Structure 1
């Protein structure tokens, strides 16, 4: 989405809800523990303890994050970038001179974005920081065996700090696909959610985010009739207020929403920024309710269902709560129709899932909350992820009834 303000809504859930490629594993997962300790404002210490001695620790690469920000503290360990069985997924490996059951790293704050991936760190103006935990998981090698890890993590902040771990899932690996927060702030209540908001956020924008979070979370909670299985926390950080335009990067991870704000345009209240923020908060919150299940939920197939579905859920919520006028909703839908025409023949296009997905939901001419309550119930009941077959079955059943 672009206006004369150079608004950027980048890295919403289409690339935040991806599943990281797994490294080939030939045996059961190895129990392991990680103690992650914040030792300075811009540094962490990661201490791994393995149930058996390992000779190699490998993780899918995240740009140059590990080669520049991770420093092995264990002697006899060297870093090596290497290919994997998947040509488009290089690996970061740490090779041990001799097998060990302990491995430690010092990790420096990293402020860039990993290509097509999560931001490793989100920094707050008051010294707080979010660190993405998915980059701490990987595979280990014992002799000629390669195994995944069943990783349990303990967190320790600086003295007096608030520490908010990622949401907890029965699947320990899934629990890591989110951010841990370390910092001086305690979250504030915002409807059915909690909010950690960077104090550098301009007052008008902070008020908008708080009001939108409260309104949207209350609407989703009452309309979708499912109490959240995990505490919902939104983490909003401010990168800078000096670059041109306005950028809001981030989105929904597993049971959590994170955004990084930047750009001097946010210093002054502007209707285009207001509408963008309202839509993104509503869209990402829709994903939280799509994933508010003990099994099933969002998968890799048919991205237009969860992305176009989140667009439809967001537009419904924005209109029903009076956050957007009927005219604003209609204008947004018409823009989606126009965007879909441009990419209709490109199902793998980033915009297809959003614009064409929304158009497909609009074409059903049915009650969006009722449809999504049925889809959520179905994925919970069967354990299947949302796909086109489920969508077709549920929508046909609603039209027959």
Structure 2
């Protein structure tokens, strides 16, 4: 797949397949493709449904397809942000939204993707790490723009020049402290090279918003900060940012396994509730949060979960009730997740409720 930045807010993606396919089938991401994608290949068209966007040539086999994409500023909950704008004019593009499945007649196969990138003249292109657990699988964000990646310890960081000092400090300091703790507690070294991207988006909107996205098994965390309060160094905002970073770094450690971990049918509450429990433990043990702050956060999540009747079928429920499920097991998160890592590596099975139940019963 070739991904090219061809003009401001305009991208061209060329798919070239090793074997002929009859359709490209991509999971729908809100209005993104319907609104911003245009198929360039003559005789081909895209149809958008509730679950999938499908590019095809009236059933005829093809080995190449080209699309033009405009930068999309929308965002669907539970999804990665398709594009992050940086204040220096740079943009990061989420490659996972260009990847998906192909059809060959009535067979559906997942894409195994090799990427090439080309920026505008004078643009640096910073590619994300490869997907270690699924070679050719989902990739993270590629950055196009003037910034250079800086090294912070063993981690590469692309940071928006508009990021205020308090935010830089929090992201780098909390990232380093929680990483050090996770390495010791879970007795594992990071398996991936790690690339962290920090974008400052719309600072005219009210309040403060921080979206974090760890790209599972693909060595990357991307943060998007927005709102007028971004420039405000306030203890409450530091606390919020600290908790977000600890949670995202927990995801990176959840996948510090040689195989397994992820599966298609597992409940997302396992990853999200697990990351909440791992983060609270790390924040308490490193002293980044006081005992009171940890208790207050737990109480807030317990109240949120009670309102949802304990269900993990909503965005908030995955986090709040996911955390409550781990808290109620009677086994500490460190020995539990360590055992889950050993099991997933030994068997190749994804993390699951059944795996958790088996481990808890044995303890």
Asked which structure has the greater RCO (Cα within 8 Å, sep 6+), the reply is 1
**TM-score with structure 1 setting the length:** 0.80
Offset at residue 106 of structure 1 (A): 2.5
Is structure 2 residue 160 aligned with structure 1 residue 198?
Answer: yes
1:235 counterpart (187, 192, 197) = 197
Residue in structure 1 matched with residue 130 of structure 2 by the alignment: 167
Tell me which of 74, 77, 87 is aligned to 1:112. Answer: 74
What are the ranges of 5 or more consecutive residues in structure 1 without an aligned counterpart? 1-33
Deviations 1:72-131 (A, max 9, x none): 3333333333x4xxxx51433243697543322222221211465322111111122211
1:267, distance to aligned residue in structure 2 (A): 1.8
Q: Is the 8 A contact 1:191 1:218 kept in 2?
A: no
Structure 2 residue aligned with 1:57, among 6, 19, 24?
A: 24
The worse-fitting range, judged by mean Cα deviation, of 92-101 and 333-342 is: 92-101
The residue that corresponds to 2:249 in the other structure is: 285
Match of 1:268 in 2: 232
The DSSP-based 3-state class of the residue aligned with 2:142 is strand
Cα distance in 2 for partners of 1:233, 1:209 equals 13
Q: What TM-score does the superposition give when structure 2 sets the normalisation length? A: 0.88
Is 1:48 equivalent to 2:15 in the alignment? yes
Query: In the TM superposition, what is the alpha-carbon distance from 1:253 to its structure 2 partner?
Result: 1.9
Q: Matched residue pairs, number?
A: 358
- Equivalent residue runs for 1:51-200 within 5 Å: 51-54=18-21, 56-81=23-48, 83=49, 88-95=50-57, 100-114=62-76, 116-140=78-102, 144-148=105-109, 149-158=111-120, 159=122, 161-172=124-135, 174-176=137-139, 178-200=140-162
Please name the residue that 1:3 is paired with: none
Is 1:298–1:306's contact at 8 Å kept on the other side of the alignment? no
Contact 1:36 1:46 in 2 (8 A): yes
Q: Aligned partners of 1:303, 1:66: CA distance in 2, in Å?
A: 25
The DSSP-based 3-state class of the residue aligned with 1:150 is coil
In structure 2, the CA distance between the partners of 1:52 and 1:311, relative to structure 1 (3 Å rule), is: closer
Measured against aligned partners, the alpha-carbon deviations of 1:250-271 in whole angstroms (never above 9, x if no partner) come to 3222232112111001221122
Give the aligned partner of residue 13 of structure 1: none
1:63 & 1:376 partners in 2: Cα distance?
34
SS at match of 2:14: strand
CA contact (8 A) 2:129 2:193 kept: no
- Do the aligned residues in 2 keep the contact of 1:241 with 1:264 (CA within 8 Å)? yes
Can you list the C-alpha shifts for 1:305-325, whole angstroms capped at 9, x where unaligned?
322221111011111111111
| 8 A contact 2:23–2:57 mirrored in 1 | yes
Q: CA RMSD in A?
A: 2.6
* Worse overlay, 69-78 or 284-293: 69-78
